[in-house]
Amino acid sequence: MAKISIYLDDEQLKDLDDLIANSSNLSKRNRSAFFSYLLKQEVAKQKRAIMLEAAAAVDELNLGWSEEEQNCAIIDAEVSG
């Protein structure tokens, strides 16, 4: 596993430790787990943004299903369970 170093002043370090101590999203309460969590969140955010852009392009270019096709797919899904 790679190691990285960052430099924080005392106030920033205290703020970081306070965030870690009060984070309900971490199973481990340490700085590495916190930065790993932040990185995963940022990657997920970027993937969502890319998918939203792609969906907007599909809509803009009318590449999606027509309303009739969509209704048929919904009915098929409901009938097939």
Please report the sign of the dihedral spanned by the C-alpha atoms of residue 15, residue 29, residue 24, residue 48.
positive
Q: Is residue 4 one of the residues assigned to a domain?
A: no
On whether the CB atoms of residues 14 and 22 are closer than 8 A, the answer is no
pLDDT digits (tens, 9 = 90+) for 15-60: 999 988 888 877 777 888 889 999 999 999 999 999 999 999 988 8
Contact 31, 38 (CB under 8 A): no
**C-alpha 41: how far from chain center:** 5
Note whether residue 75 is domain-resident.
Answer: yes
Note whether residue 44 is domain-resident.
Answer: yes
Could you tell me the residue range of the domain that residue 39 belongs to? 11-18+27-80
pLDDT value at position 53?
96
| Domain count along the chain | 1
Q: Where are the beta strands (DSSP E) in 21-77?
A: none
Do the domain assignments include residue 6?
A: no
